[in-house]
Amino acid sequence: MFANFLIGLREGLEASLVVTILVAYLVKSGRRDLLPQIWLGIGTAVVVSLGFGALLTFGPQGLTFEAQEAIGGSLSIVAVGLITWMILWMGRTAKNMKADLHHKLDDAIAAGRWAVAVMALLAVGREGLETTLFLWAGAQATGQTVQPLVGALLGLAVAIVLALAVYRGALRLNLRSFFAWTGAFLVVVAAGVLSYGVHDLQEAGILPGLHSLAFDVSAQIPPTSWYGTVLKGVFNFSPATTWLELVVWWAYLLPVGFIFVRAAWFGPSRGRAPQPATPASLEGN
Amino acid sequence: MTRNRASRTATRTAALALGAVVAAPLLAGCVPNDPASSEAGGDGPVTLSVSSTADACDVSAAEAPSGNVVFSVKNDGDEVTEFYLLAEDGLRIVSEVENIGPGLTRDLVVVAKPGSYVTACKPGMVGDGIRADFTVTDSGADTAPTGELADQVDAAAVNYVAYVKDQTEQLLTGTEDFVAAYTDGDDDTARDLYAPVRLHWERIEPVAESFGDLDPSMDLREADLEAGQEWTGWHLLEKDLWAPEPADNGGEKYTPLTTAERADYAERLLSDTQELYDRTHAAEFADTIDAAAIGNGAKGLLDEVATGKVTGEEEIWSHTDLWDFQANVDGAKVGYDGLRDVVLAKDEALAGDLDERFETLQGLLDQYQEGDGFVAYTELTPDQVKELAAAVDALSEPLSQLTAAVVL
Ligand SMILES: [Cu+2]
């Protein structure tokens, strides 16, 4: 029961934290009108995941393991792209707090309104397929016992409660702190998502190096412990990490973190127009 | 405003990319979920039960026939567990199910090829897991017709791609060992490894040839060298390992490669092999494999036999031609087997012909088996060579009709 609870908690945290910040960010910036798009993204992800899970469990065709991992890994990497876009945007916004914030906010959100929906879709869909496969297996097993399913659902519920707590905490921050802190948090989360996406692709045999471990602290941080679960759920931390995962983690965290921190904390020009030196946003040219 | 437009473009691009990454593996990555229903008159899928506990991983049988195999994995322990089917090397994941909570059962469905595997349960999701050997025996016809010919052709392509990937993987592992022995100057080991490692190359040679640059770099014979062309690859090392007498070397004394040269050429062979591995494992590779490619590849392999192996020209220094011979025939047979149901449906007589002639040729080859391998080509009498050549020709003829029969 407890083990199944932890699975639900972990998958729930993985799926909900990014969404939480996304929602908080729209609420803080007075764009509640865009919330339906988030719910649409989440709803689509849930429906698609449940449908796929049912299809793969009961339907005539299942996905090969490689395809499952390839989808999971690719979705993670696309999700990181979108989260990065949001983080960098937050970095610039935090710097320009005193300027006509709302105008800029509207601009960016208008451009990214579908990006916002897609981000919600990915944040939930990324873990959704695996979670629903697990839940359907539980549903199939309920003939024997209901407990595994109840355990997993409780875990999901606790994850949602935790995400709500994070949301309330975030709302209490002033706008500048909100952008600075949630952005920094997202940088670390995104690095973990990227690194885990790489791991999925390694398992699928698409990327090499699955067996070259940089470190293995499974003994100190068992993946089945509650703290292992929370670390995995929040930061996608894997106690047995390959070199490629580690390199990718740092290769993402250092530059993105640097750009973000410089823009959000040490921005030179509060109240003035963005400097040309501001790191290029990901829209490209 | 450019920013907005650019953002929208970025978003749309992301959505497209998302569609592509999801769709591609979906199309290529299907396994039958309930093989029982797709089996036409067969005896259904093999379902094995697996019980995973804290200190045991009980698989109900250590063997299954090739085709659809279902592992029904029950977590009888109290920690979350995972179940893996690993390749023979115990490293590559063939398939897995993760996140099996206590009390739950999850199915792992695989289309298993004949061979050796390793099963592993990982209670607590740590370490290498509780492992056991697992064998998939050859069931002969492992994919019964399921209706649409097109589906069968698609399935053949998917299976053939998997076969090529598997062979390049074994080739890479084997080449690593071979190269290590060769650069260390352990010539005995290198000679022992030469033929068995090359098997994996010879089985999929037409695929390697489809990458124009790799084949000459890896498999060029000295006799085929053109002026100004640098000689690299397997046969260069072959000559160095089986250094010829001056009489066989155009009257000149053979100069062995220096340690540095050995390291250079070995490194090059290994990096070419890695390149072959990478290209065949790239997503685009699967797009190049269709029924025609398989059929032509099978024919190409038989041509290889006729022009190189049956004449003893391929392995002129090591005389391991019969190994290559067998490997070419293996590769052709795998290609044909994948398409056999289609051939049966469209041209039953051709299928009968091919079955018979493959069998005759294999029967002849079996006579020259020695241990795990074959006698040296030089031990064959002219009559025996003639007999082999005749069997190859007899197979070549109907095999050349394979592609047309399947595609048209
Ligand atoms: Cu399909």
- What percent of chain B lies above the pLDDT cut of 90? 32
pTM: 0.55
Mean pLDDT of chain B: 82
Q: Which chain A residues contact residue B99 at CB under 8 A?
A: 7, 130, 133-134
Give the count of beta carbons closer than 10 Å to the beta carbon of residue A262. 16
Give the separation between CA B97 and CA B112, rounded to whole angstroms: 16
* Contact criterion met (CB < 8 Å) for B18 and A151: no
Quote the pLDDT of residue A109.
62
Domains in chain B, CATH or no CATH each: 46-137 (2.60.40.420), 148-407 (1.20.1420.20)
Name the more confident of B171 and A54.
B171
Q: What are phi and psi of B368, to 5 degrees?
A: -105, 15
pLDDT block averages, 10 residues each, chain A of length 285: 85 87 81 84 88 73 71 83 80 59 58 75 80 78 73 91 90 82 88 90 83 84 86 86 93 91 67 39 36
What is the A60 CA–ligand 1 centroid distance (Å)?
9
pLDDT (0 to 100) of residue B349: 87
Q: For residue B300, give both structure tokens.
A: 């190409």
**CB A78 within 8 Å of CB B39:** no
CB pairs under 8 A between A and B: 169
Q: Which of B14, B29, B98 sits opposite A64 (nearest CB)?
A: B29
Report how far ligand 1's centroid is from the alpha carbon of B134 (Å).
Answer: 28
How many alpha carbons fall within 13 Å on the CB side of residue A126?
33
Q: Region B326-336: what's the mean pLDDT?
A: 91
User: For residue B96, is pLDDT > 80?
Assistant: yes
Give the mean model confidence (pLDDT) for residues B279-301: 84
Q: Which long-range contacts (CB under 8 A, 24 or more apart) does A264-268 make?
A: A264/A90, A264/A91, A264/A94, A264/A95, A264/A179, A264/A180, A264/A183, A264/A184, A265/A94, A265/A180, A267/A92, A267/A94, A267/A95, A267/A96
Q: How far apart are CA A146 and CA A140, in angstroms?
A: 10
ipTM of the complex: 0.78
Give the whole-angstrom CA distance, residue A185 versus residue B94.
Answer: 36
* pLDDT tens-digit series, residues B234-270: 999 999 999 888 888 888 888 899 999 999 999 999 9
pLDDT of residue A233: 84
Mean pLDDT value across residues B399-406: 82
pLDDT over threshold 80, residue B14: no
What mean pLDDT is predicted for residues B67-83? 88
Residue of A nearest to B108 (CA): A65
Report which residue type is found at B44: G
Asked if A156 and A233 count as a contact pair (C-beta separation under 8 A), the reply is: no
**Maximum mean pLDDT: which of B29-43, B91-105, B118-132:** B118-132
Q: Is B64 strand, coil or helix? A: strand
Q: Which of B295, B279, B308 is nearest to B385 (CA)?
A: B308
Q: Which site among B7, B22, B98, B146 would you substitute to test the A interface, given the most A Cβ atoms closer than 10 Å to its Cβ?
A: B7
Per DSSP bridges, beta strands B67-75 and B46-52 are parallel
Tokens of residue B404, six digits: 């047309």
- Interstrand relation of B93-100 and B81-87 (parallel, antiparallel or unpaired): antiparallel
Q: Say what the pLDDT of residue A268 is.
A: 53
pLDDT higher than 60, residue B7: no
Compute the C-alpha angle A249/B129/A55, nearest 5°. Answer: 75
For residue A184, give the nearest of A83, A42, A75 by alpha carbon: A83
Residue of B53, B86, B97, B104 for testing the chain A interface, max A β-carbons within 10 Å: B104
DSSP annotation of B42: S
